[in-house]
Structure 1
Amino acid sequence: MSFEKDIQLSKTLSWLLRHGAVKEGLHISREGFVSVVDILNHKSLRNRYNLEDIKRVVDVNDKQRFRLRCNDGIWEICANQGHSLKAVEDPDLVPILEANGTEAIHGTYNKNWHAIKKQGLKCMGRNHIHFATGLPDDRAVVSGMRKTAEVFIYINLPLALSDGIKFFKSTNGVILSSGNDKGIIDPKYFLKVCDSNGKFLL
């Protein structure tokens, strides 16, 4: 299997499992799992991939985006986070009740900073806003932001938690929050903001 075909498989899995399952007629559980057989029978993957291909893409994905399980002899796959599907409620999300030194950092781009500075962070059609526990060059950080991020927004986690904003940790270490009742984390919860050169923007 070529590297390019693996990339295409990963992108298709991401779209189906995070956003497109219902639209494409795939049964998705409340936990976000879809039968691998159903996935492989999807029109964009049929006769091109098999279970071993999916296992390989799950194993080598550097962001640990996916999870496989064998449920009563049936292989199923889910995305660890990033869903826009309202039908999915991940029971494996662990509530963060105390900050305990945990950092929650949102990575974005210069073009977005002006709006975020005024309006706060939004879910942008997803179920959650995503945060990493460190910067992209931190080897302990698996996922949570793109390596190309230019602006890093550090959240005042103790203040946000004390005000009732809920945060969770996913199985691959990403911190997730649905924000307030409008799906927003207001700028008052920004502890500090800096760019990729370490210059403070806030």
Structure 2
Amino acid sequence: MSNKDTHLSKTLSWLLRHGATKECLNISSDGYISVREILQHRSLRGRYNKEDIERVVATNSKQRFKLRFNNSTNILEIKANQGHSIQISDDDLIQILEPHYETVVHGTYYKYWSKIKIEGLSRMKRKHIHFAKGTLNDRNVISGLRQDVEIYIFIDLTKALADGILFFESENGVILTKGNNIGFLEPKYFWKVIDRRTGASLL
């Protein structure tokens, strides 16, 4: 990806996930913003066009974005598939009702592990905690893990679902949960935690 496309992708991620309200952009309840409007943002105006956005959406390896043509307004719109801190509806997410995934894994770093192993995973300021359906070695994993994670936390999805924790899948295959009523997925749902490099158990 060129530097120009990287800048566009990062700007889109921030605006669509976190900054739309602060930047006074008109965002729909399900997270879409007019492409025409977003191109007028000060970070993008005069530097990018519709074709640039279409290219970045089509070539993004993690499928972070989605375009749609709104038939009622005749306007092309864009949204982020997940990762929001601003409040949008979950209508585009598919609820997971059965534990039919062999692997549900969260990637993290040693600097956070001492707190996570006591408190669990927190959604913090985001709407959801993110998981992948495999590790970085799995070719089918599109999104859900950063490339430099140091620790894999594997989730007992069967146990979590049985306890009433809600899980969803985004359109680009990321597993999402809000956790419990205070936004945590507790350590009792960790069935395995390993060092990504060595495979050594951390539990």
TM class by shorter chain equals over 0.9
Task: Write out aligned runs for 1:1-202 (5 A).
Answer: 3-72=2-71, 73-86=74-87, 88-196=88-196, 197-202=198-203
Gaps of 5+ in 2: none
- How far apart are residue 142 of structure 1 and its match? 0.2
| TM-score, length basis structure 1 | 0.97
State the secondary structure of the residue aligned to 1:142.
Answer: coil
State the secondary structure of the residue aligned to 1:133.
Answer: coil
Q: Is the 8 A contact 1:94 1:170 kept in 2?
A: yes
Q: Is the 8 A contact 1:30 1:90 kept in 2?
A: no
- How far apart are residue 123 of structure 1 and its match? 0.3
Q: Is the 8 A contact 2:101 2:133 kept in 1?
A: no
In the aligned structure 1, how far is the partner of 2:59 from the partner of 2:108? 25
Q: Is the 8 A contact 1:69 1:77 kept in 2?
A: yes
Q: Which amino acid aligns with 1:71?
A: N
In the aligned structure 2, how far is the partner of 1:101 from the partner of 1:30? 29
Aligned length: 200
Percent identity at matched positions?
Answer: 57
- How far apart are residue 101 of structure 1 and its match? 3.8
Q: Which amino acid aligns with 1:143?
A: S
Q: Which amino acid aligns with 1:176?
A: L
Gaps of 5+ in 1: none
Q: Deviations over 1:17-68 (max 9, x none)?
A: 0000000000111110000011000011000000000000001100000000
| TM-score, length basis structure 2 | 0.96
Q: Deviations over 1:112-151 (max 9, x none)?
A: 1111001100002000000000001211000001011110
Q: Which amino acid aligns with 1:21?
A: A
Q: Is the 8 A contact 2:166 2:177 kept in 1?
A: yes
- How far apart are residue 90 of structure 1 and its match? 2.9
Q: Is the 8 A contact 1:67 1:79 kept in 2?
A: yes
In the aligned structure 2, how far is the partner of 1:66 from the partner of 1:57? 9
In the aligned structure 2, how far is the partner of 1:42 from the partner of 1:94? 31
Q: Which amino acid aligns with 1:53?
A: D
Q: Which amino acid aligns with 2:78?
A: I
In the aligned structure 2, how far is the partner of 1:90 from the partner of 1:12? 23
Q: Is the 8 A contact 1:127 1:178 kept in 2?
A: yes
Q: Is the 8 A contact 1:144 1:174 kept in 2?
A: yes
In the aligned structure 1, how far is the partner of 2:118 from the partner of 2:52? 45
State the secondary structure of the residue aligned to 1:37.
Answer: helix
Mean Cα displacement is larger for which, 12-21 or 66-75? 66-75
Q: Deviations over 1:127-184 (max 9, x none)?
A: 0000000001211000001011110000110100000000000000000000000000
